[in-house]
Structure formats: C-alpha cells, structure tokens
Chain A
Amino acid sequence: MDDRRRRFELQVLPHLDAAYRFARWLARSPEDADDVVQEAMLRAYRGFDALRGSDVKAWLLTIVKNCHLTALTQQQRRGTVPLPDEHDAQDEQALIATGPDPESATVSQDQERTLERLVSALPDPYREALILREIEDLDYREIAAVTNVPLGTVMSRLARARAALKKQWLQQVEGEPHAVP
C-alpha cells in the first residue's frame, strides 16, 4: 500500500462511521446515504493532501454535507425532490424567548412519536446542528465549519432545536411542562 493510502486509512477511515451516521440523518433514504458516503470518501481521498491540522472528523463531515447538497441539487434538477428552504429569523434569541416555536408546524404533536422521529422531523438546519453536537460531539466552531454558518447561528439553531425537542419530548415523558414559570 502506498504511503498516502496508508495515512488516509489511519487518519480518515476511523471517522467513516461518523460520516455514515451523519449521512443517514441528512439523506432521504438509506440508499442515498450510502451513495453520499461513498462519494464523500472518494472526494476526501482526492483532497486528502490539502488536509492540514488534526480536525479530521469535522473536515470529513463537511465533505459529507457538501456531497449531500450536490446530490440534492442533482435530484432537484431531475425534478424529484425540492430543496429544503432555509428560514433563520434575524432576531432568533427574541424568537425563542417570546414567540411560538417555529418547529411547531413541522414537528408532529403525535404523543406516540419516539425521540428519533421527533429529531427526524426537525427542519434540516436544526437537526444537523443538534446531531453534530449531541451525537458526534463537535464543538461550536466545528459545527459552524461543517454547516457553513456563523457561530451565533449555530448557537441559536441549537437553542431552538433543543427548545422544540424539550417541548415535544420532555413534556410527553413527564406529562407536565418542565420549565419553571
């Protein structure tokens, strides 16, 4: 095995499972996720020489995210699925504090839903940030890099995603509102 391939297998391949999990949360079907991961690993291998520093996981997940977007655009061009629209409010902190949850419309109120289904139902930008934080354990800076948004947006997305989930899930588990009035 040549040296480059060996370094790739030692540095990047350990994050394959993270790439796969992330792709599963992003893509619309397991088959789409498989294709996204494979394409991402190939792109990562081709671009491996440009990788500097130790932030390999965030780097790989960024490529996964980009491959996912490319695949979505191609599907859209073929007229199969629409792109999800991005709707970040300008003053998000105020929105969390006073307004109704924007997720209320998209997250089903169905009491039988499991946490997994609740997370799946979050709008893409919120789900992404939350998964990268809670499951993949990325820090804010890394999440900002992967999702290509400013740090402040990462923080507000996390807050909104968590607030929405808390409302949907904790209340359901405990049978009563949790927050202190």
Chain B
Amino acid sequence: MLCPESLRVQAYFDDQMDAVTAADIEGHMGNCARCRALLQDLQQLRTAMRQELPYAQTPPALRARIMRALDQESVTETRQAQRQGRTNWRTGSFWAGAGSGLGVAALAATLAVLFFAPLLRTPVVDELVGAHVNSLLSTHLIDVVSTDRHTVKPWFAGHTDVSPVVADFDPQGYKLVGGRVDYLQHQRAAVVVYQHGQHVINVFSWAATERSAPNNVTRNGYHLAFWKVGDLEYCAVSDTGWDELLGLVRLLQGVSAREASE
C-alpha cells in the first residue's frame, strides 16, 4: 500500500515543488515510514537508470547525413528567395530586368554547386568542419589555456604527434587563446586556437599524408584555408571573411619561414 501522499513525495523527489510545499512534505515524511521508503526507492531507481541505461550519442554518419540535409534545405530556401526576387523584378525597369539575369546566373551557379559539390567533397574537409563546429558547440574548445606560445608549444609535444608553429599575433588582431588536441586523419592533430574579434579561428595541423594540400574551400559557411610547411599540413577554419582568415595564414607562414631560416 502506498500513502495517499505518494504523488507529492514523488514531486518533491523530482524537485517540482516550491519551498513551502517541500517543507510540508518533509514534515509528512518525518511521520510516514512508507513515504520515506518510497523516497529511497525513487533515489535508488534513478541512480540505477542513470548508471545502467545507455546514454547514446548520435552516430557520426547520421550527424553528417543531417548536416547534408540541412545544407540542401538552405539551398532550397535560397532558390525560393531568388525566385521571389525575380518575380518582383519583372515589374521593374530595364536595369532590374538585367538584374534578374544575374539572379538566373546565381541560380545556375547554385545548381552547379549542388551538382558538383558531392564530387568535390573530401573526407578531410568534412572532418575539419565537424571538428571546428564541435569545438564551438562543446566545452572542448581549449585544452591548454594560454596566450603564451612558450606554454602552448611544449604542451603539444606531450599531447600530439606534431609540433606546429605557435605564435601570438595580438597586435595584428589575432589573439592566441590556447591549444587543443583533436583526432583527425587518424592522428592526434594539434589545434591552435585564435580569437579574432568575436570569431574563433582554429588552426589545425597534422602530419601530411598527401603530396599537396587541398585547395581552399568554403563548406557550410566556414572557410578552410590549407597550406603545407615541410611535412606538416595546416588548415585554418573559421567563419570570418576570407581576407581575415588569409591574414592569419600569411602571419603563420611568415613565422614558419623565419624559423626555417634561423
């Protein structure tokens, strides 16, 4: 037999009561052995469920499938917007008509991208974008927090398979904020994290597996700039503009060049 107060004991256990009601039910439990036992059961069951039930995470393949579906959805929306734009322009002047020609060109370009995009996909790009997005979404942006390259660089030595160039460019607007390890291309890749205004730029580096670096590419709105120094491959990923991203790339390449000539 359960006490008629059992639902209120449950609500107390689930933390769904205000302080006054909670105090009231605590008073009741002081006098009711059945409700004390119920509370104990609820706690035991919760502990067991949280320990024993699987806490699944989305499989990477499904996550990738969903991101692709969202990409297509975004493109569809853009096309619809363009179509609406053309409809409006039809009532406009000659120059607006010329503009609608541009709209068609943009549509054609969009379709071309849609058509060719799968051919251009390389696994490393997907991996990098995934790693970049994850770093922004999770708390795993930085493993070693430091604005000092003499702290970050040695830290990589103990935690990754590579020793990338690390430098702070705060005066130039690229502030070194730390480093991180990501598993990438079957290696422990080093990630140097910079802040540029409100944007985070992740600079990935790993032991190159191919003769030449991939071409720079934009994926899901993120720009990816690739370059190679010796046997190290670098990729800077961010949602900043191309100019700003390539600005950091040039600074890093400059440091590499100086280190090589020393």
Measured CB to CB, the residues of A under 8 A from B are 1-2, 5-6, 8-10, 13-14, 16-17, 19-21, 24, 34, 37-38, 41-42, 45-46, 93, 96-98, 114-116, 119, 130, 133-135, 139-140, 155-156, 158-159, 162-163, 165-166, 169-170, 173, 178-181
Whether B261 is near chain A, meaning CB under 8 Å from some CB there, is: no
CB neighbors of A among B1-45 (8 A): 1-2, 4, 6-7, 10-11, 14-16, 33-34, 36-38, 40-42, 44-45
Q: Which 5 residue pairs are nearest across A and B when measured between Cβ atoms?
A: A1-B221, A180-B37, A20-B58, A134-B49, A115-B52
Q: How many A-B residue pairs have CB under 8 A?
A: 126
Whether B56 is near chain A, meaning CB under 8 Å from some CB there, is: yes
- Bound together, the chains give a CA A21 to CA B59 distance in angstroms of 11
Decide if B56 touches A17 in the complex (CB within 8 Å). Answer: yes
Main secondary structure of the interface of B (DSSP, over half): helix
Decide if A116 touches B45 in the complex (CB within 8 Å). Answer: no
- What are 28 residue pairs bridging A and B, where the CB atoms are less than 8 Å apart in the complex? A5-B70, A5-B221, A14-B137, A24-B56, A34-B62, A38-B66, A45-B70, A46-B73, A93-B6, A96-B6, A97-B4, A97-B6, A98-B1, A119-B49, A119-B53, A134-B46, A135-B50, A135-B53, A135-B55, A155-B7, A155-B11, A163-B2, A170-B45, A173-B48, A178-B37, A178-B40, A178-B41, A180-B36
Whether B255 is near chain A, meaning CB under 8 Å from some CB there, is: no
- Bound together, the chains give a CA A20 to CA B58 distance in angstroms of 6
Beta-carbon contacts of B144-158 to A below 8 Å, as 1s and 0s? 000000000000000
Decide if A140 touches B41 in the complex (CB within 8 Å). Answer: no
> Smallest CB–CB gap between A97 and chain B, Å?
5
Measured CB to CB, the residues of B under 8 A from A are 1-2, 4, 6-7, 10-11, 14-16, 33-34, 36-38, 40-42, 44-46, 48-50, 52-59, 62-63, 65-66, 69-70, 73-74, 133, 136-137, 220-222, 239
- Of the residues B16, B49, B66, B220, contact of A135 by C-beta under 8 Å: B49
Give every chain A residue within 8 A of B66 (Cβ-Cβ): 16, 37-38, 41-42
Give every chain A residue within 8 A of B59 (Cβ-Cβ): 34
Decide if A140 touches B70 in the complex (CB within 8 Å). Answer: no
Give every chain B residue within 8 A of A2 (Cβ-Cβ): 74, 221
Query: Known: A134-B49, A158-B10. Contact between A116 and B54, CB under 8 A?
Result: yes
